[in-house]
Amino acid sequence: VLCIFYSLFFSFSSRARMNASREVKSVELPNCKLIKGIVKSKVFVKFFPLLFYKGLRYPGVKSFEPDKPGKILLMDMNEEDPTVLELKMTGSNFDASSFNPHGISTFTDEDNTVYLLVVSHPDFKSTVELFKFQEEEKSLLHLKTIRHELLPNLNDLVAVGREHFYATNDHYFVDQYLRSWELYLGLAWSNVVYYSPDDVRVVASGFDFANGISMSPDRKYVYIAELLAHKIHVYEKHANWTLTPLKSLDCDTLVDNISVDPVTGDLWVGCHPNGMKIFSYDPENPPGSEVLQIQNILAEDPKVTVVYAEDGKVLHGSTVASVYKGKMLVGTVFQKALYCEL
């Protein structure tokens, strides 16, 4: 009887964390179109005004092209009708065949050199690949691969220097069997790590699937998405790189990745209204998409707006939304990307 009770309890808990019973209420935008050249690949975007994309194979989530390596695409949002361009990746020690990109962030040096830091999962392990963006050649020069024992299950990162970043680990366990139990039991053991070449440490913990991470335009605050708790957390960043929890915002959706408007400071969040459909993909009943805009998140009562939502007829599983000069790009888990004029 006790075993049945615990089984029912954890089953109910898992369904609640996944928002398994939620149906999507449609919120449409009038000027949207799918981007040509992006089909059956996972997409993630984060940078202004040049947006970088990638593809991902992730344990427990369906992949339409499991045997193809990931790639980085470029889209210039300053163009009237922007298109995507695949960036050539070069470097003597870079293995493009095992490139499996996930989270992505950029850092611009004092001389305006742009560096791209990319979470990758070669053979489903975790690394951070450091690239230099060569704008004239439209290519990426691989500079370094970063590995560390405190970075075992990387999801996303936000760069604070060329080789300095905060990163989320979305699981505690590395073993796939134990990871599945960690997810099922709701063990809030994932964390956030600060990395530099000389200092690596856990700076925040106790998350039920730490996911997207970003930073305020003034670099004073770090935003963390806790996917299965449906929360956005705000942390104050200190000069010694420690983080202090400031507030949390409850959302009625699974919050994935966070982009921050560099002008307004608004948060744009790609979300999963029903997480069960993400982890149990059914093409006949595909996962929906949802985009939140969060204004004045530091205020006592932030304004949260559902900017876009649909039930899977257009996109399958939105992960991220980036906005630049009235234009929005929505990336997904499974396929396609959507370009909208707001």
Whole-angstrom distance, CA of residue 340 vs CA of residue 92: 39
Please check the confidence at residue 1 and state whether its pLDDT lies above 60.
no
| Main-chain dihedrals φ then ψ at residue 54, nearest 5 degrees | -160, 175
Check whether 256 is labelled as a binding-site residue: yes
Whole-angstrom distance, CA of residue 73 vs CA of residue 63: 18
CA 24 vs CA 77, 124, 186, 273: distances in Å:
29, 32, 24, 7
Rounded mean pLDDT of 104-130?
A: 94
Picking from 151, 72, 143, 77, the residue whose alpha carbon sits closest to that of residue 109 is: 143
User: What's 200-212 look like in SS3?
Assistant: EEEEEEEECCEEE
Angle 243-245-250 from CA coordinates, rounded to 5°: 135
Instruction: State the Rg of the chain over Cα.
Output: 19
Rounded mean pLDDT of 62-80?
A: 77
Instruction: Give the homologous superfamily in CATH for domain 1-341.
Output: TolB, C-terminal domain (2.120.10.30)
Check whether 112 is labelled as a binding-site residue: no
Tell me the sheet residues that pair with 106.
116
Say what angle helices 2-18 and 176-185 make with each other, to 10 degrees: 90
Tell me the sheet residues that pair with 127.
120
Check whether 155 is labelled as a binding-site residue: yes
Cross-sheet strand order for the sheet of 50-53: 50-53, 73-76, 84-86
Question: How do 101-108 and 114-120 pair as beta strands?
Answer: antiparallel
Check whether 156 is labelled as a binding-site residue: yes
Q: Domain map of the chain by residue range?
A: 1-341
Question: What's the length of the chain?
Answer: 342
| Main-chain dihedrals φ then ψ at residue 198, nearest 5 degrees | -110, -5
Whole-angstrom distance, CA of residue 160 vs CA of residue 157: 10
Catalytic residues: 102
pLDDT of residue 8: 36
pLDDT of residue 59: 61
pLDDT band at 47 (very low <50, low <70, confident <90, very high): low
Please check the confidence at residue 62 and state whether its pLDDT lies above 70.
no
Check whether 274 is labelled as a binding-site residue: no
Check whether 93 is labelled as a binding-site residue: no
Q: Each residue of 249-302: pLDDT tens digit?
A: 999 999 999 999 999 999 999 999 999 898 888 889 999 999 999 999 999 999
Strand, helix or coil for residue 225? strand
Angle 127-96-128 from CA coordinates, rounded to 5°: 15
